[in-house]
Structures are given as C-alpha cells and as structure tokens.
Amino acid sequence: MIDNGVAVVVAAQAIYEGIDLVRYEVGRKALDLGVIPAYDMTKEAIVTKLMWVLGHTNGIDEVKKMMLTNYCGELSVP
C-alpha cells in the first residue's frame, strides 16, 4: 500500500498509552517501510486528523509531516 502512495497509520490497541515502534524489531521494520506512527493519538483523533490532512494534500511526505504535527493537543509525543 505504501509503495502505491497510500498513507498507513499505525495505532496502539491500548486505551492509555502510545506506541513506540522503535522498541521492537517488527515496529522498526514497519517504520522502515514508511508507516506513520500515531503515537498517543486516540482512534477518533487519528481518523479525524487523517481526513483533514487528506483534504489538504495527497503527497505522502506531506501527509506524514502533517500527521506528526501537533495542531491542537491531539499529539503529545513525536
């Protein structure tokens, strides 16, 4: 999907904590492939933010940059 220019955002299943993809080998491999880590964003924030970002750009690099930018307190860890 990423090779075709589709943004892939990885989120944690845990309710209270974010994700640290560099901690485990599989996470590092995912990052190497170009996934966008959601860190501590809620599922609702991820969906809303991704819809907003895709409304402003469709370039994968710009999508990643915007998803990793904290605009209104939705993201506390980059």
Name the pLDDT band for 1 (thresholds 50, 70, 90): low
Percent helix, strand and coil across the chain, each to the nearest 5: 45, 5, 50
Tens-digit pLDDT profile for residues 3-52? 678 899 998 777 666 677 777 888 889 889 999 999 999 999 999 999 99
> Can you give the residue ranges of every domain in the chain?
2-67
Class of domain 2-67: alpha beta
Q: What is the DSSP letter of 35?
A: P
Cα separation of 15 and 32, whole Å? 26
Backbone angles phi, psi at 42, to 5 degrees: -75, 160
Contact 48, 75 (CB under 8 A): no
